[in-house]
Amino acid sequence: MRGAVGIEIEDKFDVPDDYEVPDLGKLGEVLGPRSYQLVALYYDTPDLRLAARGVTLRRRRGGADPGWHLKLPKAKGVRQEIQLPLTRSTKIIPAELTELVQAYTRGAQLVAVAELDTRRSVRVLSGLVEVADDRVKGTVLGDAPVVEHWREVEAELLENGDRDLLAKVGKRLRKAGAVPAGSGSKLARLLKPSPPARARVGDGTAGDVVIDYLSGQVEALLSQDPRTRRAEEDAVHQMRVACRRLRSALKAFKSIVQDTVRLQDELQWLGTSLGEARDLEVIRARFARHLRNLSPELVVGPIQVRLGDDLGAREQEAYGRIREALSGERYYALLNTLDELVAKPSLGKAAKKPADATLAGVADKNWQRVTKAYETAQAIPDEERREIAMHDVRKAAKRARYTAEALGMGKLAKRAESIQEVLGLHQDGVVAQETLAKEAESARQAGEDTFTYGILVGIERATADQAQADFPKVWAQVQAE
């Protein structure tokens, strides 16, 4: 996908009409003020699905960066901004941007919902922080347009900017009478969208803690959707982790949030859809690292092409299948079900019980599953079957870890993570050997030298064997804690 990508970090302040921007000269060299006229048309679904989750999509004229802008929330005061050049039409939104908001629109039409006409006065401090004094005319579009006027000030961190300087600027603005903005964006101030619905069970109850966690993971999944579509670094991994955490929580807390078996199946489907690209991404980077560490004379034949470009091409094909899955009705239905889960969950009797004792029991039960899986595996005399059974120990440890993390039980989460990691090292080594064997066979049939494949298989076998040898020590350590 094309489009310039940047990170927007800014502090916004509400100010009265007679506010005077203070002298910032003591903080650095000030350039400006310079004035602009900015006219932006904002797009959303008729029921404001983008605005409800802090997403803005606009076509803006004027200023230093006219064009189409999509802003996606990353953290408080931090947004990822994707920019495309300005087009003549106000009715045809660039397809690249409409795709990136599909997790929010879910097939609903995008229409113009508001216009912001801003007279902006800009000061730049030491090339690091931009201070914008904005006088805004906002219009809610519709059969009976509603117009509002206000003034606000923004302090934005420029590229390679200084966060400490940004904080000092904010302090100076507040001292002059500015107050932190009541809304995260101009559009939110104008439209006043309702946030996504969330069930309220009761402070301190098990249900409230679990719903809060599920809500956070739903938001995490949604936030990674646009990044995954763009194949950004680590995005598909983080999106798959959100799927796994949700599915694990629904299994672990089934006495609190009920009737989720179908949803768990759909989360497994989504995780599997994401898995192919992620696995190829990981193993390609793994092989590239091995090849870099080998002496040049040990790298023979076109192995770097097979394990690099060829796997990379397969990875891109897998991303194409991901985008197809993320643009279908099955995915939209899953997201709708997740929203409904957070808004109107089917709660069991345990949901109204005190959180501490109830959830501690759940965490303990999940750790016991790890122990039981381990004892079952160790009782199998056949080495090959025992090794397969150890995969169940890893899955149980992962579930125990996610459950403990959801409940803020750091020590228990760390114990489970230790088990998961050492077994994961073994599993990764085994999978890597299988991949290398297949690639070596293809190379052999093409008449290529397979010497280096043998070296890599040896490296991966040593990794897997070492992890297997380390496991008893790790197990004994976590049992003693």
pLDDT of residue 16: 96
Query: Torsion angle, CA of 31/37/41/47, rounded to 10 degrees?
Result: 70
Using alpha carbons, list the distances in angstroms from residue 239 to 123, 396, 444: 39, 20, 37
Task: Give the other-Cβ count within 10 Å of 267's Cβ.
Answer: 23
Identify the residue whose tokens are 């802090």: 54
pLDDT of residue 77: 74
For the cut 90, the answer to whether the pLDDT of residue 207 exceeds it is yes
pLDDT of residue 383: 87
Instruction: Say if CB 81 and CB 7 are below 8 A apart.
Output: yes
For the cut 80, the answer to whether the pLDDT of residue 271 exceeds it is yes
- Structural tokens at position 409: 């039980």
At 400-446, the pLDDT tens digits run 999 999 999 999 999 999 999 999 999 999 999 999 999 999 999 99
pLDDT of residue 480: 83
pLDDT of residue 113: 97
Q: For 125-129, what is the mean pLDDT?
A: 95
pLDDT of residue 1: 58
Query: What does the alpha-carbon distance between residue 8 and residue 11 come to, in Å, rounded to a whole number?
Result: 10
First vs last C-alpha separation in the chain: 49
Query: What does the alpha-carbon distance between residue 263 and residue 336 come to, in Å, rounded to a whole number?
Result: 11
At 42-95, the pLDDT tens digits run 999 999 999 999 999 999 999 888 999 999 988 777 889 999 999 999 999 999
pLDDT of residue 64: 86
Sign (positive or negative) of CA dihedral 354, 356, 357, 360: positive
Instruction: Say if CB 258 and CB 251 are below 8 A apart.
Output: no
Q: What is the DSSP letter of 308?
A: I
Using alpha carbons, list the distances in angstroms from residue 367 to 205, 395, 406, 419: 22, 11, 14, 11
For the cut 90, the answer to whether the pLDDT of residue 354 exceeds it is yes
Least Cα distance to 224 among 336, 326, 329 occurs for: 326
pLDDT of residue 265: 97
Q: DSSP letter string over 91-154?
A: S---HHHHHHTHHHHTTPPPEEEEEEEEEEEEEEETTTEEEEEEEEEEEE-SSS-EEEEEEEEE
- Structural tokens at position 124: 């730049």
Length of the chain measured in residues:
481
Q: Say what percent of the chain tops pLDDT 90.
A: 91
Query: Pairing state of beta strands 56-61 and 179-180?
Result: unpaired
Instruction: Say if CB 210 and CB 341 are below 8 A apart.
Output: no
- Structural tokens at position 386: 């025992």
Is the pTM here over 0.75, yes or no? yes
- Structural tokens at position 255: 């006495």
For the cut 90, the answer to whether the pLDDT of residue 2 exceeds it is no
Q: Say what percent of the chain tops pLDDT 70.
A: 99
Burial category of 328 from C-beta neighbours within 10 Å (exposed 0-12, middle 13-18, buried 19 and up): middle
With cut-offs at 50, 70 and 90, classify the pLDDT of residue 3. Answer: low
Least Cα distance to 15 among 178, 193, 130 occurs for: 178
What is the distance of C-alpha 197 from the center of its chain?
Answer: 21
Helix (H, G, I), strand (E, B) or coil at 38: strand
- Sequence-distant (≥ 6) Cβ neighbours of residue 99 within 8 angstroms: 1, 229, 323, 327
Q: What is the mean pLDDT of the chain?
A: 94
Least Cα distance to 213 among 342, 399, 358 occurs for: 342
Instruction: Say if CB 398 and CB 423 are below 8 A apart.
Output: no
Query: What does the alpha-carbon distance between residue 114 and residue 42 come to, in Å, rounded to a whole number?
Result: 5
Identify the residue whose tokens are 């059974």: 389
For the cut 90, the answer to whether the pLDDT of residue 350 exceeds it is yes
Using alpha carbons, list the distances in angstroms from residue 52 to 72, 100, 107: 12, 16, 16
pLDDT of residue 172: 97
